[in-house]
Amino acid sequence: MNQKISVEIKSEVSPLEAVIVHTPGAEIENMRPHDAERALYSDILNLSVAKKEYSQFKGVLEKHASVFEVKELLEDILQNPKVKNLLIERVCSIENNFEIQSHLEKMEPKILAQSLIEGVILPITTFTRYLCDDRYSLTPLHNFFFTRDASISVGNEVFIAPMANKVRMREAIIMEAIFDYHPNISTKTVNPYSQKKFFNDKEFQNSAIKSTKKGKLSFEGGDILVVRDDVLAIGVGVRTTSQGIDFILEHFRKQNKKQHIIIQELPETPESFIHLDMVFTLLDRDKCMIFDQLLLRHNRYQTFHIEITGGKVAFHEEENILIALKKLGIELEPISCGGFDPWTQEREQWHSGANFFSMAPGKIVGYGRNIYTLEALSQAGFEIFKAKDIIADKIDLSNYSKYVAIIEGSELSRGGGGCRCMSMPIKRDESF
């Protein structure tokens, strides 16, 4: 990264200028079938197919914005010996794995960046290790290509996520280090566990380990949508707890500015409801994609409005998320994931049919496998283009005000997320 970027995200749809991604690598293959559940997967992925699909996703983004890779940004900051040693120390401390520390310290920045993501093979030095079922002394980060979750850009700040699962803790540590120490990124990180540069090891580790138990503080980026400068939509469920929302609430209360937070309760099962952006994403200034069986039909999952004004907080119950936003002057036309048939709605929501990423108002990217969702978008006035045609410059996008760039996501979608999940925007043109 040569350009200097000041983080600024005040909406979900303003023209994208800079985004961080992570192309899936060997960490995807460094997983066996019986490791999948521990790694938060339902199945193992074919890396060669996943990389081809991801190249389409990244290629489309590059037509709209500057795209930066996590591994390259990490390698940049590891050139600084002080940052390198501090990051290694924190990783070893939080993962309670000091045995590997000296080995990591001897690595060059490029190899270390790769190892922190792809994992480090356990050296077979004893008979006990020979019999050990674990292959890695430092486990791979299987989920890191879902870059949305570990850090969240809100305004000019970046919230560092207290991840709900221990297997993803290192992702947040890496992203915090990038935002704190990369010389070409300007922002302030907001960390629930410490005002220091990194997590308070013991407190964070204990919280992450026990985060599946009720009452622990956690939030993740897939649950947090920046609807407008003064309006957030946040899902509360298996990954983001009420305590996590309380932290965000308190942060804005202390800033003494007016802020609205719309809270949507999410089911604990099935796993396709893991985050709010699996049932609700913004497509344009006046359009959204929804899974209407959850958001618009009567059920037990409530919607709340938290209003923060002058340091005071008020709580209201709302009929649904669209009505709550309309009261704030944000009127959205809903487009149904899976079309109008409940059967196809459920099938396509399962494969991230509601999870779109906006590159500009009305210009979005999503999976091509969700054909009924794409038909609903077409009926709403969106042109449908294949990503490979956009990348090959077969289409002049300037001729179209609304379009969907579709990527071949049959393999990527089996990882449990969509295009919004795979993107971490850090700069949008908010003057638009």
In angstroms, what is the C-alpha Rg of the chain? 21
Per-residue model confidence as pLDDT tens digits over 419-432: 999 999 999 998 76
CA-to-CA separations, 371 to 53, 57, 339, 368, 377, in angstroms, rounded? 17, 18, 9, 7, 10
pLDDT tens digits, one per residue of 113-130 = 999 999 998 776 666 666
* Contact between 149 and 175 (Cβ < 8 Å): no
Q: Provide mean pLDDT across the span 76-90.
A: 97
Whether pTM > 0.75 for this model: the answer is: yes
Residue 196 has pLDDT above 70, yes or no: no
> pLDDT tens-digit profile of 33-49?
656 455 455 567 889 99
Run of H or E residues at 19: strand 16-21
Residue 195: band (very low, low, confident or very high) from pLDDT cuts 50, 70, 90: very low
State residue 377's pLDDT score.
98
Mean pLDDT to the nearest integer, 161-178? 94
Q: What is the pLDDT of residues 182-194, one digit of tens each?
A: 999 999 999 997 6
SS3 290: strand
How confident is the model at residue 215, as a pLDDT?
Answer: 64
Better-predicted residue by pLDDT, 126 or 176? 176
| Strands 357-360 and 312-318, sheet pairing | unpaired
> What does the alpha-carbon distance between residue 301 and residue 303 come to, in Å, rounded to a whole number?
7
- Kindly list the structural domains of the chain, giving each domain's residue range(s) and its CATH number in brackets, ordered by start: 5-428 (3.75.10.10)
Q: Give the DSSP H or E segment for 246.
A: helix 242-255
Q: Where are the alpha helices (DSSP H) in 63-193?
A: 70-77, 81-94, 101-105, 109-118, 127-131, 169-181
* pLDDT score of 416 more than 80: yes
**Spatial distance between the Cα atoms of 407 and 57, rounded to a whole number of angstroms:** 6
pLDDT over threshold 60, residue 271 = yes
pLDDT, average across residues 291-317: 93
Angle, to 10 degrees, between the axis of helix 70-77 and the axis of helix 81-94? 120
Question: Under a CB-based contact definition with an 8 Å cutoff, are residues 388 and 381 in contact?
Answer: no
DSSP-based three-state secondary structure for 369: coil
Whole-angstrom distance, CA of residue 278 vs CA of residue 336: 12
pLDDT, the chain, mean:
90
Predicted pLDDT at 211: 38
Q: Of 276, 197, 282, 271, nearest to 244 (Cα)?
A: 276
Over residues 16-30, the pLDDT tens digits come to 999 999 999 999 887
How far is 289 from 375, CA to CA, in rounded Å? 13
Distance between CA atoms of 213 and 154, rounded to whole angstroms?
27
Q: What are phi and psi of 346, to 5 degrees?
A: -65, -40
- Three-state secondary structure call for residue 318: strand
Q: 5 φ, ψ to 5°?
A: -125, 125
CB of 407 closer than 8 Å to CB of 387:
yes
Let me know if 324 is exposed, middle or buried by CB neighbors in 10 A (0-12, 13-18, 19+): buried
Q: Residue 329: is its pLDDT beyond 70?
A: yes
Mean pLDDT of 330-358: 95
Q: What was the pLDDT predicted at 121?
A: 82
pLDDT tens for 282-302 read 999 999 999 999 999 888 899
How does residue 136 score in pLDDT terms, banded at 50, 70 and 90? confident
| pLDDT at site 362 | 98
Average the pLDDT over 263-287 and give the result: 95
Residue 367 reports pLDDT greater than 90 = yes
3-state secondary structure of 264: strand
pLDDT (average), residues 327-349: 96
The pLDDT of residue 207 is above 50: no
